[in-house]
Amino acid sequence: MIQDLGAIRRGSPSRRAAVIIMFLCSVSGIARNAMGQTVQHEIHALKVTVLSTMLVGDTSGIGEWGFSALVEADGHRILVDTGARPDTVIRNAHDLHVDLSGVQEVVLTHSHWDHVDGLLALRRELMKNDPKALSIVHVSEGIFESRPAESGERNPMIAIRKEYVATGGRFVVHRFSAELIPGVWFTGPIPRVYPEHNWDGPGRVVTAAGVAEDNIPEDSSLVLNTAKGLVVVTGCGHAGIVNIVTQAAKLVNGKPIFGVVGGLHLFRATDETVDWTASKLQGFHLANLLAAHCTGIEATFRLRQDLGLTRKSAVVASVGSSLSLAAGIEAGPLAQ
């Protein structure tokens, strides 16, 4: 890097621009091939394991209305969402023999209680052995905004922020998409290109521009650029799965979608809405759907049918079910 900075100072304007681009590429995980073309970093070993969802697929674990999944990508591990109850993810990880020690980073997809209420208990439990455990939480701008209701503040993240920071943890608030580690992208707030309405109302959110309908503006996903295509991990998919995969494809070379794991919030959707969703997803060549949490059982089966997927490639997620590049979807016995 020191050599690069020297070259920037000494070189011609074009040389300086080239060096700056090379430097930015080196810190963003973008590489260049022998022809000098930019090549984005690809993940070659990936496994996403569901640690919280409604269905329990066998004798291991407990189900709840919530979501959490562990992402393991080329040796890096990130926890996406933390479940609803304080002990669900801890108990399920124990039953499934999933070791969460050494996981430093968390992504919270949005502010809803069924995705964030496990954070403090998990942090406090794991930091007993490792102060760095779950010490960094990536979120999108808007996650701390007030959601007032007659019963009081509805956004649990306002109280959680204080307590989490008191443990020594740090929130990283993203306004835009960011590559967290090579090949692993956090979408940040997702542009609502299509008029999907995958949230329950009517809630209100207090923004800098005033009070507005709460469309969960902070809703974000994780996008993994793998050798087999993109893998998208959603929480509730409140931004709309079509908007999410549209943003994912923009981030990473417009690759086909190898898999979607997580909630799509289609459980109240009409058949027409599910059919529209499938028609749009067809353009992204979705190969695997591990549909958790708020996707809805009927919506999952309808998406399977519409997309021409099979009982192996479109599955209702259960605790312990997974999607990996090596094995595809591994469902629990009840959901296979």
Summarize as ranges the residues that interact with Fe ion (CB under 5 A): 112, 236
* CA-based max dimension of the chain: 66
Which position's Cβ is nearest Fe ion? Answer: 236
Task: Rank residues 188 and 328 by Cβ distance to Fe ion and give the closer one.
Answer: 188
Which amino acid is it at 334?
A: L
Task: Rank residues 115 and 304 by Cβ distance to Fe ion and give the closer one.
Answer: 115
CA 318/CA 261 separation, integer angstroms? 11
Smallest separation, CB 199 to Fe ion (Å): 7
User: Among residues 56, 54, 83, 84, which one has the least CA distance to residue 70?
Assistant: 83
Which amino acid is it at 94?
A: H
Smallest separation, CB 241 to Fe ion (Å): 13
Task: Rank residues 236 and 316 by Cβ distance to Fe ion and give the closer one.
Answer: 236
Peptide bond into 131 cis (omega under 30): no
> How many CA atoms within 13 Å lie on the side-chain side of 117?
17
Smallest separation, CB 143 to Fe ion (Å): 12
Pairing between strand 289-292 and 184-186?
Answer: unpaired
Asked if 125 and 95 touch (Cβ cutoff 8 Å), the reply is no
Helices and strands (DSSP H and E) totals, the chain = 9, 21
Task: Rank residues 116 and 278 by Cβ distance to Fe ion and give the closer one.
Answer: 116
DSSP state of 268: T
Task: Rank residues 120 and 236 by Cβ distance to Fe ion and give the closer one.
Answer: 236
**Is residue 238 classed as helix, strand or coil in its secondary structure?**
coil
Task: Rank residues 190 and 236 by Cβ distance to Fe ion and give the closer one.
Answer: 236
Smallest separation, CB 222 to Fe ion (Å): 15
Smallest separation, CB 236 to Fe ion (Å): 3
Task: Rank residues 23 and 144 by Cβ distance to Fe ion and give the closer one.
Answer: 144
Task: Rank residues 65 and 194 by Cβ distance to Fe ion and give the closer one.
Answer: 65
CA 149/CA 211 separation, integer angstroms? 12
* Chain CA centroid to CA 87, Å: 21
Smallest separation, CB 274 to Fe ion (Å): 18
Query: What tokens were used for 164?
Result: 């989490």
Smallest separation, CB 282 to Fe ion (Å): 26
Structural element, H or E, at residue 171: strand 170-174
Which amino acid is it at 171?
A: F
Smallest separation, CB 140 to Fe ion (Å): 13
Pairing between strand 136-140 and 105-107?
Answer: parallel
